[in-house]
Amino acid sequence: MAYPVHAIIRGTRFMATGNTVQFGPVQISDLPSAGGNTIELAIPKGVPSRGEVPPRILPPGDYRVSVTTSAGTSNAVTFTMTRGP
């Protein structure tokens, strides 16, 4: 699998700036949305850790994804990340 994984979230009423995507255990903050209908993001390879523990790799699998704006948080949907060819 090639990282970062590029994804597009489609929806409505995203803010021009300041959107936050929760992708499983990873929070990706301050994402823009041109037009308020899509958010493009790069899903990182690993989950940041605290202290001296190395980052944990995000393996293929199902991840809950939601978007938070100044108006609130969306319903979560499931994103399935698979291994590439």
Domains present along the chain, CATH in parentheses: 5-45+58-81 (2.60.40.10)
67 contacts: CB under 8 Å, gap ≥ 6? 9, 11, 14, 19, 20, 21, 22, 39, 73, 74
Largest CA distance in the chain: 41
Strand partners, 8: 40
The pLDDT of residue 47 is 77
Tens of pLDDT along 16-73? 999 999 999 999 999 999 899 999 999 888 777 777 777 788 888 999 999 999 999 9
- Higher-confidence position of 7 and 83: 7
Structure pTM? 0.85
Give the separation between CA 82 and CA 85, rounded to whole angstroms: 9
